[in-house]
Chains A and B, each alone.
Chain A
Amino acid sequence: QQQVKQSPQSLIVQKGGISIINCAYENTAFDYFPWYQQFPGKGPALLIAIRPDVSEKKEGRFTISFNKSAKQFSLHIMDSQPGDSATYFCAALGGRRALTFGSGTRLQVQP
C-alpha cells in the first residue's frame, strides 16, 4: 500500500527533447506528490509538487500531470538540457508524514 512505482529506470534524451518519467501509487491516502532532482553527491532537491485536486501543474520547463482515477502521475521536462542530467525521484505523502519514494530515474540529456 505504501509503494510508489517509478519508470523508466534510466532515460536518454537528446538536447531539446521531452523527458517523461512516470509514477504510480496504490495508497489513496496519499495527497501530496513531489518530484525531487538529485545530482551526484548532493541531497534531493524539490523540483515541483502537486496535490490531487488539480490535473496539471507547470513551472517553467517542468510539468506534472496527475491522473487521480488511474493513481498515476508523471513529470515532463520540456526542452531538456544537458544540465538536467540527474536522478529524478517521485514521492508521495499522506497520513504518515514520511515521504514514500519511487526507485528513481537516471536521466541523461545528450548535447
Chain B
Amino acid sequence: DADVTQTPRNRITKTGKRIMLECSQTKGHDRMYWYRQDPGLGLRLIYYSFDVKDINKGEISDGYSVSRQAQAKFSLSLESAIPNQTALYFCATSLDRDQPQHFGDGTRLSIL
C-alpha cells in the first residue's frame, strides 16, 4: 500500500464547482504539503502544515484552502474552481525540515 495516498486520481469538473482533494499518509510524518504542477513550471507550493494546528500559505495559495483533520490527513479545497486551476496536484509529507519529502501519486484535475 502507498504511504501517501491521494484521492481522486483524476477529476474533471466544471467552472464554479467546489472541489476537495484528499491526502492521507501512514508514514507518521507531522509535515504535509500541497503542490501544484503545471507544464514547464515545475512544482509550486500551495499550502503546508507542520502539525494539526499549524497551517501556512505557500507561494500560490489564492483560490485554495486547506484542512488538516488529523496528523494523517490534509485536504485541499477549491471553493469555486476556475479553468486556470487545471493542473496536477501533489501531496507530500516529510519527517523534518532536512529530510526528503515523500509524494503521493498526484491528482490530475481538469476544470472545464
Interaction A to B: no
